[in-house]
């Protein structure tokens, strides 16, 4: 019924606006004629009269005024209708989210959503990201259109803040509305927030490589990724180390071999050099070792593969020792232990090729995000983007550590830690560490962003030889 009244009012206003415009075009009969509107006044000429002249002269002015009023009323009515339509649309979207959460109670479990990075599986994370993105986008749109005063949208905001505020802060740079963030601040500091529980992580060790090897390139940022160039500084270093060996049969020890991707590099060597190589793969994951054996058989490369945990068992000795992103422990002491394993695997005249994950990359990414969002969205959004990165990654420059996946803290390598720890275990660099750059097309798959006009992310590549152990 309200819609019918509104429609009738709109058409009445339109008719009112049109009448004054056509009134001057209507042929009003002159006085004295049959059916004359006005009587002839004494002394007046036939066919003339003030009332008729006044009407004709005032008609256009009245038409303009009434038309202007009618246009203003029509605009107001249109805006009311548009606001109501948007509100109904947002309500319908919000109803879809509530329906989805009813089928997945974990989305309403604050002990899960407040620590979703650790509590959810990868598949759950994908669905949860979609739900939160849609929910907070709806509320951002409602805030920008001043629709949060309605009871339904206000309750929706309170509900999202109670259960999904952690996700919002971790992805704060996606939302830039000032009214939206004022509302978040008011809800966040209000008494309506639920107490949130952060359970202690059940896993304190390293990542499960048995699981990682199932989808290696989807989960591991690797220099052997198909998106990398065929020849890189790493492949050149390995070929250089092999060519420098005087052994008839060159034992290449691959520490932390994973699924054996280094075998593809060996397969691309010149035939004379390739035929001298005997590959020894070392990994603590049985599935990784099995994958490496199959790859070596397929490529026809002589190989032995050993299931060894470098933290507990000394590896065999080789002429060339390669460790690609293997020295990435849960503490600085673990990194030193892994480097000692590298040193023990190299005889006195061996060459060592190390690819060490660079800590400086996180500082580089934070600065890139700050600069980009500041130029696009302003300083406030840039600050939120940096804060979100710090909340998820937990970088610590003193220990050169951060959490790449938001859960497990790993200890990376800076130029300072490289110099100190290599000297500590008795490895002497042949030259300064060089950067192995990764294309942005690969980096953006792993939460590093996409800044193609800026310097890429990298790891530190170091070529070493054994030296006297530091005292």
Contact 389, 167 (CB under 8 A): no
Contact 252, 320 (CB under 8 A): yes
Question: Range with the lowest mean pLDDT among 37-51, 52-66, 108-122, 189-203?
Answer: 189-203
What's residue 72's pLDDT?
67
Mean pLDDT taken over the chain: 80
pLDDT in tens, 225-254: 988 999 999 999 999 999 999 999 999 999
pLDDT confidence tier of residue 21, bands split at 50, 70 and 90: low
Alpha-carbon Rg for the chain, nearest whole angstrom, is: 37
pLDDT in tens, 370-415: 998 888 778 998 898 889 889 888 999 999 999 887 778 999 999 9
Segment (H or E) for 131: helix 122-144
pLDDT in tens, 50-75: 555 555 555 566 666 666 666 666 66
Q: Which domains does the chain have, with CATH numbers?
A: 104-188 (no CATH), 209-359+395-466 (3.40.50.150)
What's residue 191's pLDDT?
38
Query: Which range in 90-99, 253-262, 369-378 is most confidently predicted, on average pLDDT?
Result: 253-262
Q: How far from 148 is each of 72, 136, 164, CA to CA, in Å?
A: 26, 13, 18
Contact 407, 452 (CB under 8 A): no
What's residue 292's pLDDT?
94
pTM, rounded to two decimals: 0.67
What's residue 38's pLDDT?
45
- Helix, strand, coil % in the chain, rounded to nearest 5: 55, 15, 30
pLDDT confidence tier of residue 369, bands split at 50, 70 and 90: confident
User: Is the pLDDT at 312 greater than 80, yes or no?
Assistant: yes
User: Is the pLDDT at 297 greater than 90, yes or no?
Assistant: yes
pLDDT in tens, 325-367: 999 999 999 999 999 999 999 999 999 999 999 999 999 999 9
Average pLDDT over residues 141-153: 74
């Amino acid at each position: 019924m309200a819609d019918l009244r509104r429609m009738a009012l709109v058409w009445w206003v339109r008719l009112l606006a049109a009448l004054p415009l056509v009134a001057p075009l209507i042929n009003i009969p002159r006085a004295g004629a049959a059916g004359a509107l006005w009587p002839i006044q004494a002394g007046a000429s036939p066919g003339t009269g003030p009332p008729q002249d006044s009407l004709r002269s005032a008609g256009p002015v009245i038409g303009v005024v009434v038309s202007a009023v009618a246009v203003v009323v029509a605009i107001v009515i249109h805006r009311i209708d548009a606001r109501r339509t948007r509100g109904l649309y947002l309500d319908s979207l919000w109803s879809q989210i509530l329906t989805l959460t009813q089928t997945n109670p974990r989305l309403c479990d604050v002990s899960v959503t407040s620590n979703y990075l650790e509590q959810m599986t990868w598949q759950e994370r994908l669905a949860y990201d979609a739900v939160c993105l849609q929910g907070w986008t709806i509320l951002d749109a409602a805030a920008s259109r001043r629709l949060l005063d309605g009871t339904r949208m206000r309750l929706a905001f309170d509900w999202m803040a109670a259960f999904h505020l952690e996700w919002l802060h971790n992805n704060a740079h996606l939302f830039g509305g000032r009214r939206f963030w004022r509302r978040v601040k008011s809800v966040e500091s209000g008494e309506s927030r639920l107490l949130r529980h952060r359970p202690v992580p059940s896993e304190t060790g390293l990542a499960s490589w048995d699981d990682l090897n199932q989808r290696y390139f989807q989960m591991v940022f690797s220099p052997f990724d198909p998106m990398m160039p065929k020849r890189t500084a790493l492949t050149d270093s390995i070929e250089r180390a092999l060519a420098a060996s005087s052994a008839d049969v060159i034992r290449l020890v691959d520490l932390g071999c994973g699924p054996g991707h280094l075998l593809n590099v060996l397969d691309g060597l010149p035939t004379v050099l390739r035929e001298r190589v005997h590959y020894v793969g070392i990994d603590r994951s049985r599935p990784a070792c099995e994958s490496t054996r199959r790859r070596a058989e397929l490529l026809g490369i002589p190989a032995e593969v050993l299931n060894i945990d470098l933290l507990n068992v000394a590896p065999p000795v080789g002429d060339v020792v390669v460790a690609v992103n293997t020295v990435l422990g849960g503490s600085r002491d673990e990194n030193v232990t892994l480097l000692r394993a590298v040193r023990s695997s190299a005889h006195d005249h061996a060459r060592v090729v190390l690819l060490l994950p660079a800590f400086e990359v996180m500082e580089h990414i934070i600065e890139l995000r700050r600069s980009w969002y500041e130029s696009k969205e302003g300083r406030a959004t840039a600050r939120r983007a940096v804060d979100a990165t710090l909340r998820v990654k937990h970088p610590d420059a003193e220990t050169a550590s951060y959490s790449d996946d938001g859960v497990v803290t790993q200890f990376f390598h800076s130029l300072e830690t490289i110099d100190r720890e290599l000297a500590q275990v008795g490895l002497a660099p042949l030259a300064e560490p060089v950067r192995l750059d990764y294309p942005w097309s690969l980096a953006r798959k792993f939460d590093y962003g996409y800044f193609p006009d800026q310097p890429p992310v990298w790891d530190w590549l170091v070529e070493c030889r054994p030296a006297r152990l530091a005292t």
